Structure 1
Amino acid sequence: MKYSKEYTVKDEHIDVQGIMDGLYYPFYMEYCRHSFIDEVLGFNLETEAKNGVNMVLSEYTINFLRSLKKDDVITVTCELHRDKNNIPKLHFKQSIILNNKVVTKAVFSGTCVPATGGRPFIPETLKTIIENAPVLE
């Protein structure tokens, strides 16, 4: 299931070259990913943290293909994938799209951990959803 949201590039994210600073691309992806996690997966990060479960990133890879400029209206996508080795990880394939062209693509990987410390795990409430997700190759 592919999820998407629209955003407008903010002036304060533009560098001296007139393009969006590379630091902000992951932020737009995070905004979309957090909405996806809440709205589609039904996992509210704030509520879960109060209940002692933290969803954390373990790694990400990102590829920059084109630059964005102030006031560009972009679409950010997010799609859940499961781990091919059945490790307790969530993988989110994401893209930033401008005028039907991919500007940036990335994979963000994470897991859940007890707030008090302990081993990574996938909460029972997410297991069924993850089982139906495609495998990340």
Structure 2
Amino acid sequence: MSDYDFRLDLEVRDYECDMQGVVNNSVYQNYLEHARHEFIKQLGLDFAELTRRRINLVVVRAELDYKGSLISGDRFWIGTRLEKISPVRFGFFQDIFRKPDDRLMLSGKIIGTALNERGRPRVPEEIQRILSR
């Protein structure tokens, strides 16, 4: 649990739960995306500015392993680790842990790339620097 580049703490809101009283499976992807966006900001990248420059960060693959269910009011944290996968792909390895027992609730692998204005994979210099650290 200590090999993450970034950690984000959150709490489950009532409206994120389904009729069974647990967080709906699709909401976990929102949690992971929010953590990735916050991580990108911490790295000094501006998602909106990249988009204005016609550099679009996109997800090309998502693998989610559900280990348990969060319920309304649960506090949890998301650990995120970034790795270079190939010259044009990067991976976010993300885990969600329930507090206070740090039980693993979800393990995810999100593969992304950057697309240029023609829709072709091209990872800009500022992201290459981050991936090379």
TM-score by length of 2: 0.91
Moved over 3 A (4+): none
Q: What is the CA RMSD across the aligned residues, in angstroms?
A: 1.1
Residue equivalent to 1:95: 95
Residue 62 of structure 2 corresponds to residue 65 of structure 1:
no
Q: Percent identity?
A: 23
Residue equivalent to 2:32: 29
Q: Which runs of 5+ in 1 are unaligned?
A: 133-137
1:122 shift after superposition: 1.1
* Superimposed CA distance per residue, residues 71-125 of structure 1 (whole angstroms, 9 cap, x where no aligned partner): 1001011110111xx33111000011012111001011111111x3242011111
* Superimposed CA distance per residue, residues 9-51 of structure 1 (whole angstroms, 9 cap, x where no aligned partner): 01001111111111101101111111101112x2211111011
Residue equivalent to 1:50: 52
Q: Distance in 1 between matches of 2:119 and 2:16?
A: 37
Q: Which runs of 5+ in 2 are unaligned?
A: none
Residue 10 of structure 2 corresponds to residue 7 of structure 1:
yes
Aligned length: 128
Question: Which of these residues, 105, 109, 112, is aligned with residue 110 of structure 1?
Answer: 112
